[in-house]
Amino acid sequence: MSDERTEQAPRQETNWIDRLIKFVSQGSRTGIMPPADITGATLVLVVAAMCYLACLALGAMITVTSSASDWTAQLEGALTIQVKPQNDITLEDQIGAALSVLDGTTGVAQAQALSNEDVRALLDPWLGESQDSEDLPLPSLIDVQLEPGAIIDMARLAERLAAAAPGIELDTHRQWLGELLSAARSATWLSIGILVLIALTTGAIVVFATQASLAANHETVEVLHLVGAQDEFVANEIQRHFFQLGLRGGASGLGAAVITFVLISWLGSEGGAFLLPVPGLTLSDYPWLLTVPTAIALTTTAAARITVLRVLRRMI
Amino acid sequence: MVRFENVGMRYGMGPEILRDVSFHLEPGSLHFLTGPSGAGKTSLLKLMFLAHKPSRGLISMFGNDIATTPRAELPSLRKRIGVVFQEFRLLEHLTTYENVALPLRVAGRDEAEYRADVEELLAWVGLGERMQARPSTLSGGEQQRASIARAVVGRPALLLADEPTGNVDPEMGQRLLRLFIELNRLGTSVLIATHDRALVESTAAPELIIQNGELAYRE
């Protein structure tokens, strides 16, 4: 036996990096807590489900936010002029009158009348590619691109266009865009609400799971306590155990969510799977999903630590 | 080293298990604690290894009054006490080696520093070939020896053993007693709770006799 006394104090960690290295490196040693039990397996499953739902909510929020941003960027720099056929004037004259008004308007970069084929193509996603649309009395459309940052009095422009020829209407997309952005904002807040709810639920589940695990491993905790382990030591062992469970569950949930998003992107790009085009997540969006298992693993760790310290303080 | 003065103990609102217990263990002493089953031997040991607080009286361990010692300082006192539990209390998911090395690991020592010592001790108690075995695969006697090895591995200042030879044959019992005597010779105070009269009579150590929760002393 060694002649040294064992009561020497544990080495002092000099800073948080040392603490982190110690925390991670000890993960490779045999854990003092049992590696897996029924509580642990259930917790991994629950954390995986929570992480999956949270990833879906976050992914939906990212998709909606980036789509709303794209729509805003696309529509804020564009106008559409609808030219409805009239009996007392030819379509060509109506279009010519509208183009000449636009020509004299400051801030208009380009104005171009769409061909009948282009107009019908716009209806294809809604009516299909059948030839029936050829018989429909479709208006002509003029696509107007604005100069970046152009400030145009839309009401005045609408008046001038209406005065130039009958049947000309200005569509600024503002009302549609406003409703769309309002819906996008609601969806974003809903996603945030779901994320908060999931975080709170996960925290509550982990607290219960930790208490159950502590009850199941009461013998281990008590023996550690009686051989002189500080509360901090026991708490570190247990939080490491729960951090690993949290990471395993989080990684499983993340994997399932990534597969789901890839499938959504693939089905969305195939077309026809959804009523509206679904852009899905871009490659640069995926790293954001990593925040979910990280946050869940940290929530799990914090909940376990707080619970175990509370239990230990009840012991002498 | 250990001083009890008029100590009483009860579990919850139950009757007093220990009454007016007073004694003093000097550093480097060896004592036996005897008495019939249910007399309060294990309860007295629980007070000594700081698993319970007394309901009255004074307990002083290593010069610290337990009633006034801050809770955060109790682990450093526990590290100076080795305990052999009657029911062994080995951790099922750890190997015999890991169980025995547990106090050293808890004390923050590097495995490279203590591995050879733990292996030597395990060989000494006859578990050299069973180091990687889980407690559930050990016999009662082997578990008891592992429990004793865990209690003494950190060279405690005070060793408390609750029926340490209850599950081993007389020859191994004498061998374990020699281990306790050797530790005592090196400065560890030892208190052995036992029913084994042969063990008590094989040394000239004084005896603390507990009966109906009250303590008597016999040289």
Tokens of B196: 């084994």
Q: Per mean pLDDT, which range of A160-164, B80-84, B165-169 is the poorest?
A: B165-169
pTM for the model stands at 0.68
Helix (H, G, I), strand (E, B) or coil at B85: coil
User: Using the beta-carbon criterion (under 8 Å), do A228 and B150 form an inter-chain contact?
Assistant: no
Q: Give yes or no for B67 touching A (CB within 8 A).
A: no
- Is the Cα torsion angle B146, B152, B158, B159 positive or negative in sign? positive
Q: Is B179 or A22 the better-scoring residue by pLDDT? A: B179
Q: What's the confidence (pLDDT) of residue A27?
A: 45
Q: What is the ipTM of this complex?
A: 0.90
Rounded distance between C-alpha atoms, residue A33 and residue A89, angstroms? 87
Quote the radius of gyration of chain B (alpha carbons, Å): 17
- pLDDT tens string B8-32: 999 988 899 999 999 999 999 999 9
Tokens of A85: 């056929």
**Chain B residues within an 8 Å CB radius of A1:** 117, 120-121, 152-153, 155
Which of A5, A6, A228 has its CB closest to that of B75?
A228
CB A152 within 8 A of CB A174: no
Which of B91, B114, B119 would you mutate first to test chain A, the one with the most A CBs within 10 A? B91
User: Using the beta-carbon criterion (under 8 Å), do B109 and A220 form an inter-chain contact?
Assistant: no
Residue ranges of B 117-156 with Cβ closer than 8 A to chain A: 117, 120-121, 150, 152-156
User: Using the beta-carbon criterion (under 8 Å), do A8 and B155 form an inter-chain contact?
Assistant: no
Q: What's the confidence (pLDDT) of residue B166?
A: 80
Shortest Cα distance, chain B CAs vs residue A182, angstroms:
56
Rounded distance between C-alpha atoms, residue B49 and residue B41, angstroms? 12
Q: What's the confidence (pLDDT) of residue A6?
A: 40
Kindly tell me the number of DSSP H helices and DSSP E strands found in chain B. Answer: 7, 10
Helix (H, G, I), strand (E, B) or coil at A141: strand
pLDDT digit string (tens) for chain A, length 316 residues? 444 444 444 444 456 555 555 554 454 456 777 766 666 788 888 889 989 988 988 888 888 888 877 777 777 778 888 888 888 888 888 888 888 888 888 888 888 888 877 877 777 777 766 656 566 777 888 888 888 877 888 888 888 888 888 888 888 777 777 888 888 888 888 888 888 888 788 778 877 876 777 777 788 888 999 999 999 988 888 888 888 888 899 999 999 999 998 888 887 665 555 555 556 778 888 899 999 899 888 888 888 888 888 888 888 7
Rounded distance between C-alpha atoms, residue B100 and residue B109, angstroms? 14
Q: Give yes or no for B74 touching A (CB within 8 A).
A: yes
Rounded distance between C-alpha atoms, residue B23 and residue A113, angstroms? 107
